[in-house]
Amino acid sequence: KNIKKYFPIKGGVLKRTIGHLKAVDDVSLTIQKGETLGIVGESGSGKSTLGRVILRLLDPTEGNIHFNGADISKLTRRKFRPYRRDMQIVFQDPFASLNSKMSVAELVEEPLLIQADLSKSERKKKAIEIIEKVGLRAEDRLKYPHEFSGGQRQRISIARALIIEPKFVICDEPVSALDVSIQAQVLNLMKDLQDDLGLTYLFIAHDLGVVKHISDRVAVMYLGRIVEIAPKKAIYENALHPYTKALLTSIPVIDTGKSNEQKVEKIKLSGDLPSPANPPSGCTFRTRCPLAHDRCSIVRPELTEMEKGHFVACHLYTEEQ
């Protein structure tokens, strides 16, 4: 609720704070048990920072995080520990996130070491179970990360995240580093695991193609703010925000043999993302928006509900005509 994460920018010889990088700038959202909320935006939109704040890997500058009704935003490390087990993260790059000197068994069992009550043989049993669940073989336990392909390494990361039986998993671009041909396999695996284990996902991606099949709802972020959030069908068939339309326009069209006519109007995105240290006034998307008008540089549009559960922050919909 109202999450802000500002990073100080230091400058000058005295290294004083001369400004703030507003990575996340007043984001509120709810994720229901068992659902997948997709969060989409370009790199620099603040989506990974938001994920880290929700998991308390970073402290928010402002705002609160509630988990199962409890406010976890200000708990001490010790009081937070029981929640830690329920919340896990799968990172984008399975090369960087897996220690190459550890065997698969060590990597997958490591998160269990915080549970002092488990014996060695119990840990091994659990590891084999989860290794097989993610589609690897029990014998793979004795191998090292470099002996696997990118897709298999991501399966190891997923096993590592799931072995302590979390309820909520943040997936931070888990397939972005993988070959397109492997992406669907890993996405299907994550969907199956969700159904099987009753997981709740926050699924971060940089394009709308990746989250299309896995999400129940989708939020679109731009420069630290949510500009549109809606049930999946509404995002893909009735997108309202010009930025969402631009992201939809840029989804690679997969040739299914059927006509692939896009239902929303096409908008081509031009220019780069402005710096979150110095965002444009009013609507922060105005420097790239083909529909920008006078009001857009003066007044910041607020998220407004247009249809049930479909919110957009754009003057085109909320202005008095």
Closest contact distance (angstroms) between CB of 92 and Mg ion is: 7
What 3-state DSSP class applies to 15? coil
Closest contact distance (angstroms) between CB of 310 and ligand SF4 is: 15
CA 244 – CA 234 distance, rounded (Å): 11
- What token pair was written down for 136? 């690897």
Among residues 111, 242, 276, 279, the one that binds ligand SF4 under rule CB under 6 A = 242
What 3-state DSSP class applies to 318? helix
Residue 288 gets which letter from DSSP? G
Closest contact distance (angstroms) between CB of 220 and ligand SF4 is: 11
Residue 289 interacting entry, from ligand SF4, Mg ion, none, C-beta within 5 to 8 Å by type: ligand SF4
Q: Using alpha carbons, select from 1, 51, 27, 24 the residue that is nearest to residue 313.
A: 27
Counting contacts by CB under 6 A, is residue 175 touching ligand SF4?
no
CA 49 – CA 55 distance, rounded (Å): 10
User: If you search the block for the tokens 């659902």, which residue do you land on?
Assistant: 35
Q: Looking at beta carbons only, is 177 or 312 nearer to Mg ion?
A: 177
Q: Binding to ligand SF4 (CB under 6 A): which residues in 284-313?
A: 285-286, 289, 291-292, 296, 301
Q: Using alpha carbons, select from 167, 187, 168, 165 the residue that is nearest to residue 176.
A: 187
Residue 125 burial by Cβ neighbours in a 10 Å radius (0-12, 13-18, 19+): exposed
Q: Looking at beta carbons only, is 92 or 194 nearer to Mg ion?
A: 92
Number of residues that bind ligand SF4 (CB under 6 A): 13
Judged by CB under 5 A, which stretch of 47-55, 64-72, 193-201, 208-216 contacts Mg ion?
47-55
Closest contact distance (angstroms) between CB of 172 and Mg ion is: 6
Q: Using CB under 6 A as the criterion, which residues of the chain lie in contact with ligand SF4 when the complex forms? A: 241-242, 283, 285-286, 289, 291-292, 296, 301, 314-316
Q: Using CB under 5 A as the criterion, which residues of the chain lie in contact with Mg ion when the complex forms? A: 48
